[in-house]
């Protein structure tokens, strides 16, 4: 049991103990008054009888109330999890483990309503109320910050959770066609003439933002200036005729419909596909970005649904060794240090690994690159002209 769970368990134990004591005392008093009523029936006044009868009814209601509150505390609870598209496989393994653990420790059934899609679109749905998420697990901290700015998550959410709220991690991989006929080895190769890139839209997809930042940082964090970065990224998006809404749609376009020469995807997705029998030729660039995926409780909704305790317990469980091993099995780079050591040899080393902070942090990133009329919009305007 984690330290964060101990006060909750203690409070629950004391509450249940007090309820049981109160019920026992009330039942004892109730029986005494019922006996007293019988004795008063023999020649006593009607007024006295009515008084005792009303007291007896009150005590019966009080006992029933205590008993009812005790059983109500064991009612089933439902959590709404809203996440980005490629995490479903991980949650399908982790959620049943949490449900079993909670049932053993609290004798309470937990069910999950789950929703998966593009991270930006999921965040927008939480903000507009069409998705009343108790918990969000999104592709990038920027999307959680947008929900916080809308007043649904308390400010400073990232400082109240382990690892600054980051619960899963990956890097970017370049998937090519069999034999790599276009000779793609580095980010720079994506700007070559005749290369068709399949990518998602940064306005709706988390991976698309990470893609953009990987492109930009591969220039500015290796000695290039911003003018060079702008020219390079403009060429890459000129080679991207269609922007999909999320990572899953981009993968379907590349694999199922056979479109494009190159697909940018999460490393974990590419490695997992290979382990499941679909060997994909891919390159993990030696200059890469740490793709950090945050988790957060949606404060306004858990208070509305009275699910804060179990929602917090699930978030805590995601950082546990047990859950982090499940992320690692699906080729995410874990954030739990002990699990990171266990699986380090499974991943190719990265020579230059940079983060969003190296590009100024999320507020600057949003305003500089993805706000209305910012660099991404200008790039799109140039390529459509």
Q: Do domains 77-168+293-341 and 172-289+355-384 have the same CATH topology?
A: yes
Q: What 3-state class would DSSP assign to 288?
A: strand
CA dihedral 259, 262, 268, 274 (to 10 degrees): 70
Query: What is the rounded CA–CA span in Å between residue 277 and residue 275?
Result: 5
pLDDT of 34 = 53
Q: Are strands 172-176 and 262-266 parallel, antiparallel or unpaired?
A: antiparallel
pLDDT tens digit at each of 385 positions of the chain: 444 444 444 444 445 544 554 455 445 545 454 554 455 445 445 454 444 444 444 444 444 444 444 444 468 999 999 999 889 999 999 999 999 999 999 999 999 999 999 888 999 999 999 999 999 999 999 999 999 999 999 998 988 888 999 999 999 999 999 999 999 999 999 999 999 999 999 988 888 999 999 999 999 999 999 999 999 999 999 999 889 988 778 888 998 899 999 999 889 888 887 777 777 899 999 999 999 999 999 999 999 999 999 999 999 999 999 999 999 999 999 999 999 999 999 888 899 999 999 999 999 999 999 999 999 999 999 988 7
Structure tokens that stand for 157 in this block: 């959410």
Cα–Cα distances in angstroms (integers) from residue 79 to residues 134, 140, 150, 294, 338, in the given order: 6, 21, 21, 18, 29
pLDDT of 7 = 45
Q: Which CATH architecture has domain 172-289+355-384?
A: 3-Layer(aba) Sandwich (3.40)
Chain CA centroid to CA 2, Å: 20
Structure tokens that stand for 46 in this block: 């009607």
pLDDT of 101 = 97
pLDDT of 112 = 98
Query: What is the rounded CA–CA span in Å between residue 305 and residue 41?
Result: 50
- Confirm if 159 and 153 have CB atoms less than 8 A apart: no
pLDDT of 349 = 86
pLDDT of 70 = 41
Question: Can you count the helices (H) and strands (E) in the chain?
Answer: 15, 12
Among 122, 142, 141, residue whose Cα is nearest residue 133: 122
Query: What is the rounded CA–CA span in Å between residue 266 and residue 317?
Result: 24
Sheet containing strand 135-137, edge to edge, reads 110-117, 77-84, 135-137, 291-297, 166-170
Among 117, 169, 113, residue whose Cα is nearest residue 141: 169
Q: For the whole prediction, is pTM greater than 0.85?
A: no
Q: Which CATH architecture has domain 77-168+293-341?
A: 3-Layer(aba) Sandwich (3.40)
Among 246, 270, 275, 221, residue whose Cα is nearest residue 139: 246
pLDDT of 30 = 52
Query: What is the rounded CA–CA span in Å between residue 131 and residue 71?
Result: 30
- Confirm if 84 and 119 have CB atoms less than 8 A apart: yes
Beta strands in the chain (DSSP E): 77-84, 110-117, 135-137, 166-170, 172-176, 197-200, 243-244, 262-266, 282-283, 287-289, 291-297, 352-354
Structure tokens that stand for 48 in this block: 């006295």
Query: What is the rounded CA–CA span in Å between residue 353 and residue 336?
Result: 18
Query: What is the rounded CA–CA span in Å between residue 108 and residue 105?
Result: 8
pLDDT of 256 = 87
Each domain of the chain, given as residue ranges in start order, spans 6-72, 77-168+293-341, 172-289+355-384
Query: What is the rounded CA–CA span in Å between residue 236 and residue 378?
Result: 14
Query: What is the rounded CA–CA span in Å between residue 125 and residue 133?
Result: 9
Among 210, 216, 293, residue whose Cα is nearest residue 250: 210
pLDDT of 279 = 78
pLDDT of 275 = 78
């Amino acid at each position: 049991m984690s330290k964060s769970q101990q006060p909750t368990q203690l409070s629950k134990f004391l509450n249940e103990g007090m309820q049981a004591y109160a019920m026992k005392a009330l039942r004892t008093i109730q029986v005494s008054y019922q006996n007293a009523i019988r004795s008063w029936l023999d020649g006593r006044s009607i007024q006295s009888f009515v008084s005792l009868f009303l007291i007896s009814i009150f005590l019966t209601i009080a006992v029933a109330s205590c008993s009812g509150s005790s059983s109500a505390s064991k009612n089933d609870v439902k959590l709404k999890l809203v996440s980005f598209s490629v995490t479903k496989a991980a949650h399908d393994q982790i959620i049943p483990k949490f449900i079993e653990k909670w049932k053993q420790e609290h004798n309470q059934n937990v069910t999950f309503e789950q929703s998966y899609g593009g991270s930006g679109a999921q965040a927008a749905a939480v903000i507009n109320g069409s998705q009343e998420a108790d918990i969000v697990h999104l592709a990038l901290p920027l999307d959680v910050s947008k929900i916080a700015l809308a007043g649904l998550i308390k400010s400073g959410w990232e400082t109240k959770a382990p690892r600054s709220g980051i619960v899963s991690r990956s890097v970017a991989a370049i998937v090519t066609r069999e034999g790599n006929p276009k000779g793609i080895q580095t980010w720079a190769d994506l700007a070559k003439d005749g290369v068709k890139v399949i990518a998602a839209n940064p306005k709706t997809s988390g991976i698309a933002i990470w893609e953009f930042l990987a492109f930009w940082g591969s220039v500015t964090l290796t000695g290039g200036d911003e003018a060079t970065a702008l020219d390079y990224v403009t060429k890459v998006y000129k080679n991207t005729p269609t922007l999909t809404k999320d990572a899953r749609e981009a993968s379907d376009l590349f694999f199922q419909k056979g479109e494009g020469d190159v697909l940018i995807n999460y490393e974990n997705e590419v490695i997992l596909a290979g382990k499941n029998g679909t060997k994909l030729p891919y390159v993990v660039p030696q200059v890469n970005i740490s793709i950090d995926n945050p988790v957060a409780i949606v404060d306004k909704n858990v208070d509305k649904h009275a699910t804060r305790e179990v929602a917090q317990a699930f978030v805590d469980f995601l950082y546990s060794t047990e859950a982090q091993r499940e992320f690692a099995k699906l080729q995410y780079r874990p954030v739990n240090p002990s699990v990171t050591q266990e699986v380090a040899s499974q991943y190719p080393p990265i020579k230059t690994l940079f983060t969003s902070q190296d590009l100024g942090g999320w507020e600057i990133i949003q305003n500089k690159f993805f706000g209305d009329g910012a660099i991404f919009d200008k790039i799109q305007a140039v390529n459509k002209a």
